[in-house]
Amino acid sequence: MEVKTNLAELRAKRGMGASLLARKIGISRQTVYAIEAGNYVPNTAVSLKMARVLETTVDELFQLETEERQPDHTIEATILGDIEQMKPGQPLRLCTVGSHTVAVAPEIGGWGLPPADAVLVEVHHGKRHPSAKVQILGDKWKAASRILLAGCDPSVSILAQSLQAQGCELIVRYENSSRALELLRDGLVHVAGSHLLDKATGKPDLAPLTKLFPRSTVAVFSYAMWEEGLVTGPGNPKCITGIADLVRKGVRFTNRELGAGCRKLLDSCLKKAEISPDQVKGYDKITVGHLAAARLVRDGEVDCCVSTRVVARAMSLEFLPLAEKPYHLLIRRSHLDLQPVQALIETLGRAAYRREVEAHTGYNMRGAGERLV
């Protein structure tokens, strides 16, 4: 807000020159002109003296001028995430994917607020992917150097840092493998992370691709080999040694959501051990995401979950391996020429990047960046 003054009009109305007014108040003539021009706001004492000399009130001499409010700039965006947990004002990151404007809620960590491109105004339900009215906070999200990835691997934060150093921005939406593929199919992300390799043959299992995508529309790149297994509390207080221990009395378990690779591994192991899911206390207790499930173990709310070694290591938990799984990045071929996508693929092939991820996670990154399809 700015201060508007009527000093020149009131002085002229009283027939009083600037020099005389300045002398009566005890200020300079230049100060009177500066006040009239709006370049200087006098203190309370000067304002009161001026009002008395001009036989008026301070309110008539000065008024607060409210800036005209600019209308909020809102747009429609497809929103990814748990919309039931989102309220108006929710910070959002925006990304253009083909003809879609996509909004995702940023991960909140540390003490500061996460970066945001917009805030949620209103969610519109009734579609496979809900849309929303969002109030944008600027135009940075329109940069061609920004791409959107959906996947469940926590190490993509390292990839994002590497791309940022190259002038590219990777926005990440954490989703399980099945969900990530669906978002890629629907054209809502540039990159999807998923488990695809058939370990028995050592070749990609293309069955999920042929069901979701037209032939030759998706490229598949190797990312990492990681271990999935049982995650228990520090020191393994319940002495869990394998899948069979999940049916023991007093062992509390949390499962992953449908479509998650860890849930598929659990179901496979239970079937092999001829254990009914009903025998596992907590099989129906669903926790979304590797980190969220491991946090429940760390906090003592459950005794065990199925997750990855890297998550267990990050939270100082115990890990019992069950399987080694490949993790792949899938990209629509129509997006391969995008500059940030090219930077991503090149980064995967760099020895320095592979060593960094291996040191952080224990992954086998030997084949990272190799195009399989």
140-188 pLDDT, tens per residue?
899 899 999 999 998 999 999 999 999 999 999 999 988 999 999 999 9
- Residue 186 pLDDT: 95
- Looking at residue 27, which CATH number applies to its domain? 1.10.260.40
Q: 198 falls in which pLDDT band (50, 70, 90)?
A: low
- Residue 199 pLDDT: 54
Same domain, 168 and 284: yes
Q: Does residue 1 surpass a pLDDT of 60? A: no
Boundary-marking domain end, from 39, 65, 91: 65
Same domain, 208 and 92: no
Same domain, 61 and 74: no
Cα–Cα distances in Å, from 346 out to 26, 130, 259? 72, 34, 30
State pLDDT tens for residues 206-252. Answer: 777 888 898 889 999 999 998 999 999 999 999 999 999 999 999 99
Residue 109 belongs to domain spanning:
70-142
Domain count, the chain: 3
Q: 41 falls in which pLDDT band (50, 70, 90)?
A: confident
Q: What is the mean pLDDT of residues 295-304?
A: 96
- Residue 18 pLDDT: 86
Same domain, 224 and 133: no
Same domain, 108 and 199: no
- Residue 170 pLDDT: 96
Same domain, 125 and 153: no
Same domain, 257 and 339: yes
Q: Does residue 64 surpass a pLDDT of 90? A: no
Say which range, 33-42, 70-79, 201-210, has the weakest mean pLDDT.
Answer: 201-210
Same domain, 287 and 315: yes
- Residue 366 pLDDT: 92
Boundary-marking domain end, from 65, 97, 117: 65
Q: Is the pTM of this model over 0.85?
A: no
Same domain, 58 and 168: no
State pLDDT tens for residues 83-140. Answer: 888 899 999 999 999 999 999 998 776 667 788 999 999 998 877 789 999 999 988 8
State pLDDT tens for residues 256-276. Answer: 999 888 999 999 999 999 999
Q: Does residue 68 surpass a pLDDT of 60? A: no
Q: What backbone phi and psi angles, to 5 degrees, belong to 61? A: -75, -40
Same domain, 47 and 103: no
Q: ∠98-87-139 over CA atoms, to 5°?
A: 40
- Residue 110 pLDDT: 60
Same domain, 265 and 296: yes
- Residue 34 pLDDT: 83
- Residue 33 pLDDT: 83
- Residue 32 pLDDT: 86
Boundary-marking domain end, from 142, 162, 187: 142
Same domain, 196 and 122: no
